[in-house]
């Protein structure tokens, strides 16, 4: 008697418990971190007051997840159900080893698992992918009009920015659902006999034929819709990417008509597929599919290629002129570089005037920056660190303050806690997270002067000099309020750039009432945090959540945590802004400013689009990277954009971490759309206080993108644009001494004189050189940062045949000068030589002055603390005769006098007392011409009178010198450069003879 085989596996009770426990544990390991992050994020967004942002994003993701997941799952389920319900009643078995029969049996035994499980799995996967498109959904729901139309279809730009991406997203998911449904139907019919491949032609039952024909017809019909939307995508075509982007001649005159032809063919093919419902002959749908494929190749690819090769390329400049013009106009609009925002001025690059004759130059030269914020971080650290666990960022910042009625730019930094500088005994959990919790103070130094000049290079080489250091203005706990030049009421820094560099940047603050203060504040005092920032962790549930988040058991068992304790985390200003506004792209550089007696980090943020019709696309990473980014290694935004606006400026309080977003461009349609998504998240511009606005700077990353665009898009003529001969280039940083240097020169914040008021105005500036290998100066771009005319560009365009040296050539001229080379050789034996930022300054109503600080740093080994100090100032100036003169001296005044006699009187003297600083817009008294200017080969103003009681030789030398001065004046009037050059040489000899006369 046979026995029935076992029908299933029987598990003991213990085995079932262990299995359930294993499944629960696996689920916790997979979902636990996500649930923990979700809960801690919920708490954090509540702390900063932006929980509505978190909920809106979460809702959007859930809606997309559910909608797309249900749609795809439902379509697949219907396809499977229909295929199963219409299966043949009898399916012949090929033989005992028929694999299809085994599959069929397996499916029938687990029908619910396959029939429901497969659609659910595919729906879940689709929903997980789709939820990342929440931005597309929200912009579609809240986007409006730009008030501008495209030049081809005359549709508002808002259609391309907000509507078209959504329509294409929906179309893509329709394609996904239909393709999956087709293959699901095909496999199901095959398993259940509706499709058999036996025999020469195989067998396809009528239900299978009808279902597959309908699905294929829907697919082709969707393809027709895709062709319709492809027409609009042509306005962002990259066919001519190396020259311009947007619809080219070929796109508009060959591809665009082809799309309409393909649309018509697709509709016909869809009808042919639907005809398969009533026709048993599958040759009609097959021929339709072949027609669609063949027409796609011929009409969509071959014909445009023929037009491009035989019509466009031989006459490209003429054929593409209209489309290049469209690209120029759209790119200027998209990047905010339209002519109403830019004042183009012709600039000679040389001048016959002296800065003493141009009142505006007093402000420019007096504020020439000698401190380089990208070099002096070690100096700040060495002289202002106070404790080993404090520090400053590798790259400092520049801002301006009005002190005693005088505007001055300063190198500024917050003295932050540097977790990486903690010594071995300070890195235990208690010290790192409950004792050393915050920095202390705001440090500033005037950018245009040092404590005193280094007069002796030999002394500097020996390291015995105490000169060339910044003049520090410190506001911290140790500085009395009445002694602070910049008043700071709360100098404790809990949020900053250095603090956040730790792998676990959290701090535990507060504690049980009555408990002694724990946080280090000074050598004689401790502190307990009283700010509004931080998430409460007094209850055990929150402690458990954060213990899981940081995998740290001390958060559960430490007695340092009391009922009033808080945890402060996400302490990077940029990261805090990015989290509360995930729809913005933040600038790479946050900078501290004192506003209302508090230290606030100011973070610039951008709204962007990746598809603006006819606008050029650029990589933010490639456009913003320069030599400073290479040095600091900061993370660059990996994003392609074709539209950008600095529509939001954010502040982060350094004490309590509060984040405030301010609207700064009410005309930006993208910002308006996001304000519809997150109402109330961005405060109106009217709430920006005048004190805060006075510290706004034009953002560096935006300026870098715009100057990259301006290398090409300053050109108006399409033919000239096509030939590229009028393009500019961003110069490489000449201060980087390395083989194959390709690092771009960063833009520089400087105070320049305003030609209208003669007062200093805070500008972001950049020199531009010729395209290709032409290193001569082509243009000078500056954009205002002060509230008046904020964002107004001025571009000085030099003649195309100019011989004014660019930064790279100037650096070479300066560093190869005899005196510079000699001192560099002397110093290099025991010092590191560092060239500071090479500033380009327009002066003398047509001239270009280059100023570069020259630093030395003792090279005494890797274990010795060294820091840069200003040794010399390099200047270079090209006079109208074409001679390039180099000045090299301990002070800017002396260096200027070497190239522009008397102009040194405009420079700010070294030292902390600015009393003798030239007032903006005023010229100093005429220089004393009774004595020759040291080392001055240039024509001197006035005449020379020998001292009383001088010798006959001195009198004769003075007379000869006066004759040579008059000869130079005569040559200047005639404009003959050859005569002028000879006169200068003779004057130089006369000056030397006068100096040598006894």
What's the number of CA atoms in the CB half-sphere (13 Å) around residue 608?
22
pTM for the model: 0.87
The whole-angstrom separation of Cα 70 and Cα 151 is 40
70, pLDDT greater than 80: yes
Distance of alpha carbon 800 from the chain centroid: 31
For residue 345, give the H/E element and its range. Answer: strand 342-346
pLDDT at residue number 950: 55
Q: What is the pLDDT of residues 802-826, one digit of tens each?
A: 789 999 999 999 999 888 888 888 7
pLDDT at residue number 137: 96
Structure tokens at 925: 């008294």
The whole-angstrom separation of Cα 956 and Cα 134 is 87
Measured CA angle at 696 (ends 690, 700), to 5 deg: 170
928 vs 48: which has the higher pLDDT: 48
What sign results for the dihedral spanned by CA atoms 207, 208, 209, 211?
positive
Percent of the chain scored above 70 by pLDDT?
A: 87
Average the pLDDT over 907-912 and give the result.
Answer: 85
Q: What is the pLDDT of residues 591-601, one digit of tens each?
A: 999 999 999 99
CB–CB of 905/367 below 8 Å? no
Q: What is the pLDDT of residues 248-274, one digit of tens each?
A: 999 999 999 999 999 999 999 999 888
Average the pLDDT over 894-908 and give the result.
Answer: 91
DSSP state of 351: -
| Sequence-distant (≥ 6) Cβ neighbours of residue 976 within 8 angstroms | none
Instruction: Return left, alpha or beta for 614; rule: phi > 0 is left, psi -120 to 50 is alpha, else beta.
Output: left
Q: Any idea which of 348-357, 667-676, 977-986 has the lowest mean pLDDT?
A: 977-986
What's the number of CA atoms in the CB half-sphere (13 Å) around residue 561?
25
pLDDT at residue number 929: 41
CB–CB of 226/248 below 8 Å? no
Q: Which residues pair with 794 in a beta bridge?
A: 343, 782
Q: What is the pLDDT of residues 451-492, one digit of tens each?
A: 988 876 665 555 556 788 999 999 999 888 888 889 999 999
Neighbours of 576 (CB within 10 A): 25
Structure tokens at 205: 């039952």
Q: What is the pLDDT of residues 407-455, one digit of tens each?
A: 999 999 999 999 888 888 888 899 899 999 999 999 999 999 999 888 7
The whole-angstrom separation of Cα 414 and Cα 492 is 9
Measured CA angle at 364 (ends 626, 412), to 5 deg: 55
pLDDT at residue number 931: 43
Task: Tell me the C-alpha to C-alpha distance, in Å, between residue 956 and each of 937, 938, 945, 979, 987.
Answer: 19, 20, 11, 24, 14
177-198 per-residue burial string, b: 16 or more CB within 10 A, e: under 16: bbebbbebbbebbbbbbbbbee
Q: Which residues pair with 744 in a beta bridge?
A: 732
Highest mean predicted confidence (pLDDT) among 296-300, 403-407, 599-603, 755-759: 599-603
The whole-angstrom separation of Cα 421 and Cα 439 is 13
Q: What is the pLDDT of residues 761-792, one digit of tens each?
A: 999 999 999 988 788 999 999 999 999 999 99
pLDDT at residue number 242: 87
The whole-angstrom separation of Cα 772 and Cα 646 is 31
CB–CB of 656/532 below 8 Å? yes
Q: What is the pLDDT of residues 272-313, one digit of tens each?
A: 888 877 777 777 888 888 888 999 999 989 999 999 999 999
Average the pLDDT over 983-993 and give the result.
Answer: 69
DSSP state of 447: T
Measured CA angle at 739 (ends 735, 743), to 5 deg: 50
Average the pLDDT over 110-120 and give the result.
Answer: 86
pLDDT at residue number 928: 46
The whole-angstrom separation of Cα 633 and Cα 555 is 33
CB–CB of 161/612 below 8 Å? yes
- Going by pLDDT thresholds of 50, 70 and 90, the confidence category of residue 95 is low
7, pLDDT greater than 50: no
CB–CB of 508/520 below 8 Å? no
Instruction: Return left, alpha or beta for 193; rule: phi > 0 is left, psi -120 to 50 is alpha, else beta.
Output: left
Structure tokens at 958: 């003075």
Percent of the chain scored above 90 by pLDDT?
A: 60
- Pairing outcome for strands 439-440 and 492-493: antiparallel
944 vs 468: which has the higher pLDDT: 468
Task: Tell me the C-alpha to C-alpha distance, in Å, between residue 168 and each of 76, 135, 139, 160, 725.
Answer: 21, 14, 14, 11, 39
pLDDT at residue number 927: 46
Average pLDDT, the chain: 86
19, pLDDT greater than 90: no
914, pLDDT greater than 70: no
């Amino acid at each position: 008697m046979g026995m029935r085989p076992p029908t299933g596996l029987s598990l003991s009770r213990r085995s079932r418990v262990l299995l359930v426990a294993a499944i629960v544990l696996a689920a916790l390991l997979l979902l636990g971190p996500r649930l923990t992050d979700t809960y801690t994020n919920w708490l954090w967004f509540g702390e900063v007051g932006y929980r509505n942002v978190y909920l809106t994003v979460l809702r959007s993701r859930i809606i997309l997840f559910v909608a797309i997941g249900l749609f795809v799952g439902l379509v697949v389920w219907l396809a499977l159900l229909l295929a199963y319900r219409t299966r043949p009643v009898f399916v012949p078995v090929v033989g005992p080893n028929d694999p299809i029969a085994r599959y069929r049996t397996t499916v029938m035994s687990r029908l619910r698992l396959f029939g429901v499980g497969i659609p659910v799995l595919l729906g879940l996967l689709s929903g997980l992918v789709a939820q990342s498109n929440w931005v597309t959904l929200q912009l579609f729901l809240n986007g409006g009009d730009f008030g501008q139309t495209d030049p081809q279809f005359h549709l508002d730009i808002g259609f391309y920015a907000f509507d078209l991406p959504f329509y294409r997203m929906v179309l893509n998911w329709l394609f996904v659902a239909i393709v999956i449904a087709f293959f699901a139907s095909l496999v199901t019919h095959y398993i259940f006999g509706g499709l058999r491949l036996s025999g020469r032609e195989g067998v396809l039952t009528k239900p299978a034929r009808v279902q597959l024909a309908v699905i294929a017809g829907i697919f082709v019909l969707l393809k027709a819709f895709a062709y319709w939307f492809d027409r609009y995508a042509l306005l962002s075509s990259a066919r001519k990417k190396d020259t311009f982007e947007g619809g080219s001649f070929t796109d508009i005159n060959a591809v665009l008509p082809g799309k309409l032809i393909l649309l018509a063919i697709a509709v016909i093919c869809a009808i042919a597929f639907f005809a398969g419902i009533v026709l048993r002959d599958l040759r009609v749908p097959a021929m339709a599919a072949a027609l669609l494929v063949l027409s796609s190749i011929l009409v969509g690819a071959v014909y445009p290629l023929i037009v491009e090769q035989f019509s466009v390329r031989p006459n490209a400049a003429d054929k593409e002129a209209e489309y290049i013009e469209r690209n120029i106009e759209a790119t200027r609009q998209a990047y905010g570089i339209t002519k109403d925002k830019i004042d183009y001025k012709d600039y000679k690059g040389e001048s016959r005037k002296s800065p003493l004759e141009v009142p505006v130059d007093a402000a420019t030269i007096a504020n020439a920056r000698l401190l380089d914020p990208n070099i002096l971080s070690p100096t700040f650290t060495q002289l202002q660190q106070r404790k080993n666990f404090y520090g400053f960022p590798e790259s400092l910042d520049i801002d301006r303050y009005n002190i005693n009625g005088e505007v001055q730019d300063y190198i500024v930094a917050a003295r932050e806690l540097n977790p990486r500088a903690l010594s071995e005994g300070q890195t235990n959990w208690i010290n790192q997270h409950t004792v050393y919790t915050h920095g202390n103070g705001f440090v500033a130094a005037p950018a245009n002067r040092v404590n005193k000049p280094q007069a002796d290079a030999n002394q500097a080489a020996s390291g015995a000099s105490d000169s060339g250091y910044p003049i520090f203005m410190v506001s911290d706990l140790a500085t009395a309020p009445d002694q602070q030049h910049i008043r700071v009421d709360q100098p404790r820094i809990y949020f900053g750039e250095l603090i956040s560099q730790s792998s676990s940047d959290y701090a535990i603050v507060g504690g049980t009432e009555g408990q002694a203060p724990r946080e280090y504040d000074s050598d004689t005092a401790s502190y307990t945090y009283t700010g509004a920032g931080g998430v409460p962790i007094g209850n055990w549930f929150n402690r458990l959540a954060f213990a899981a988040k940081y995998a740290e058991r001390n958060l559960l068992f430490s007695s340092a945590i009391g009922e009033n304790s808080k945890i402060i985390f996400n302490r990077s200003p940029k990261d805090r802004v990015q989290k509360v506004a995930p729809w913005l792209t933040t600038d790479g550089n946050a900078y501290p400013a004192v506003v209302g007696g508090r230290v606030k980090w100011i973070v610039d943020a951008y709204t962007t689009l990746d598809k603006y019709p006819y606008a050029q696309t650029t990589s933010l990473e490639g456009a913003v990277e320069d030599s400073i980014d290479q040095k600091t290694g900061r993370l660059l935004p990996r994003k392609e954009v074709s539209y950008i606006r600095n529509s939001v400026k954010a502040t982060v309080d350094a004490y309590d971490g509060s984040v405030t977003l301010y609207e700064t461009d009410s005309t930006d349609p993208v910002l308006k759309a996001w304000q519809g998504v997150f109402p109330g998240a961005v405060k109106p511009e009217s709430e920006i206080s005048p004190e805060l606005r006075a510290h706004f700077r034009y953002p560096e990353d935006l300026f870098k993108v715009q100057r990259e665009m301006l290398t090409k898009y300053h050109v108006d003529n399409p033919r000239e644009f096509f030939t590229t001969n009028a393009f500019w280039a961003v110069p490489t940083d000449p201060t980087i001494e390395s083989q194959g240097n390709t690092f771009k020169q960063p833009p520089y914040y400087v105070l320049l004189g305003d030609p209208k008021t003669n007062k200093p105005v805070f500008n972001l500036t950049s020199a531009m050189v010729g395209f290709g290998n032409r290193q001569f100066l082509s243009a000078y771009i500056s954009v205002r940062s002060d509230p008046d005319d904020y964002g107004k560009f001025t571009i000085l365009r030099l003649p195309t045949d100019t011989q004014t040296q660019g930064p790279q050539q100037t650096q070479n001229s300066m560093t190869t000068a005899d005196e510079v080379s000699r001192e560099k050789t002397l110093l290099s034996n025991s010092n590191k030589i560092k060239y500071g930022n090479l500033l380009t300054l327009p002066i003398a109503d047509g001239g270009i002055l280059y100023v570069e600080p020259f630093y030395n740093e003792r090279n005494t080994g890797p274990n010795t603390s060294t820091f840069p100090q200003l040794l010399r100032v390099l200047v270079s100036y090209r006079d109208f005769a074409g001679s390039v003169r180099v000045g090299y001296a301990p002070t800017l005044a002396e260096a200027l006098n070497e190239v522009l006699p008397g102009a040194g009187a405009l420079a700010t003297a070294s030292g902390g007392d600015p009393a003798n600083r030239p007032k903006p817009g005023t010229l100093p008294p005429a220089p004393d011409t009774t004595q020759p200017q040291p080392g001055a080969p240039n024509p001197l103003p006035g005449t020379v009178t020998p001292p009383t009681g001088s010798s006959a030789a001195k009198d004769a030398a003075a007379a000869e010198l006066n004759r040579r001065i008059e000869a130079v004046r005569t040559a200047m009037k005639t404009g003959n450069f050859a005569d002028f050059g000879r006169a200068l040489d003779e004057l130089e000899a006369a000056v030397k003879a006068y100096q040598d006369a006894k």
